[in-house]
Chain A
Amino acid sequence: MQIDITVNGTAESHDVEARTLLVYYLRDAVGLKGTNVGCDTTSCGACTVLLNGESVKSCTVLAAQVAGEEVTTIEGLALEDGRMHPVQQAFQECHGLQCGYCTPGMVMAITSLLAENPDPTEEYIRLGLEGNLCRCTGYHNIVAAALAASQALEMRQ
């Protein structure tokens, strides 16, 4: 079936099977490989993308379900002049990653969290990231990056 989704501001239209999961629509049909498949069971959050600005796990959404809507992936976060998004920048500055596999999902989840609460506490960040697993660095620097990003976003506004 023909499925139209706006991905990172670009209208995409691809003929895929009805059973195509959003993550495979993004990776295989659109060709954006930044969104990772981790557990494939709605647990780890590596496949997190934004659907109309809110974080969702794209391994548990059919592409057909979101036809006509707006999806943002890690590739769509950078600013128009090519600079990194404040959340990405904060990950670099705070060393919020080691192997990097969970990172796209973490960055998208934090972007959604900060959109809902621009002035978060550490507890809010930790609770808000319960759906994103990191198996190497632990979470300390990821949480630090989220808090740094909230301050950077606040200064930008």
Chain B
Amino acid sequence: MGALAAGSVRGNLYMYDTNKAGGSTGFGTEELRTRVRAGDRVLWNCLALECEAFVGIAGIEVDKSVIEPERKVYPGTDVAYWIGTVKKDDIDVVPYRIRFLVGTRTEPITTTLSPTLVG
């Protein structure tokens, strides 16, 4: 709702991953730094804080030599997630951008601050 009202996810986006023990940082911010290694499968999905609101991922823009996320659906549903496999080690810091579908807006809203994958 905040993102819809502001037309931006700035201040309205909270990102987390499940690799805290592996060294990820920036939990609960728009600049999540996810620690990855070659071969790791990274899956993105999103939830709206208001369960009556719709939110989805329209695309993830990232260096394709590191990871190529693609859209898939949970079998038997139209609920989508994005998934990709990290192609190499020693990637240093790789920023990426997520384009969100929010509510009934036709134009996606893109992240302004940058989450990253870190090697």
Whether both chains belong to one complex is answered with no
A residues contacting B by CB (< 8 A) are none
B residues contacting A by CB (< 8 A) are none
